[in-house]
């Protein structure tokens, strides 16, 4: 999958594949917790998945911004570990 948008769910094929395999829970990791990780988490949650972000496996370029972003993600129903 080649992505030019900062969200894994911009590719409808991923959502289709996850539904085909009856996936209901997703853990998301990545290199930028404020951008692609957060965007993917929000879209996954909106698509009905239970989403967990294990912060020890998420890169952060701006820690202050990420702390604020985590608060919003938690308010959106995303589990932050």
Show me where the domains of the chain are located: 8-80
- In the structure, what pLDDT confidence band is assigned to residue 56 with cuts at 50, 70 and 90? very high
pLDDT at 78 > cutoff 90: yes
User: Exposed (0-12), middle (13-18) or buried (19+): which is 1, by Cβ within 10 Å?
Assistant: exposed
Query: Tokens representing 9?
Result: 């769910």
Contacts of 60 (CB under 8 A, 6+ apart): 32, 33, 34, 66
8-80 in CATH: which number?
Answer: 3.40.50.850
pLDDT at 5: 65
Contacts of 29 (CB under 8 A, 6+ apart): 37, 53, 54, 57, 58
pLDDT at 1: 52
pTM of structure = 0.83
């Amino acid at each position: 999958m080649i992505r030019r948008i900062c969200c894994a769910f911009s590719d409808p094929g991923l959502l289709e594949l996850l539904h085909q395999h009856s996936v209901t829970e997703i853990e998301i990791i990545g290199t930028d917790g404020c951008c692609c990780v957060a965007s993917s988490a929000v879209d996954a949650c909106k698509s009905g998945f239970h989403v967990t972000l294990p912060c020890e496996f998420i890169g952060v370029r701006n820690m202050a911004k990420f702390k604020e972003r985590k608060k919003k993600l938690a308010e959106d129903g995303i589990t932050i570990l």
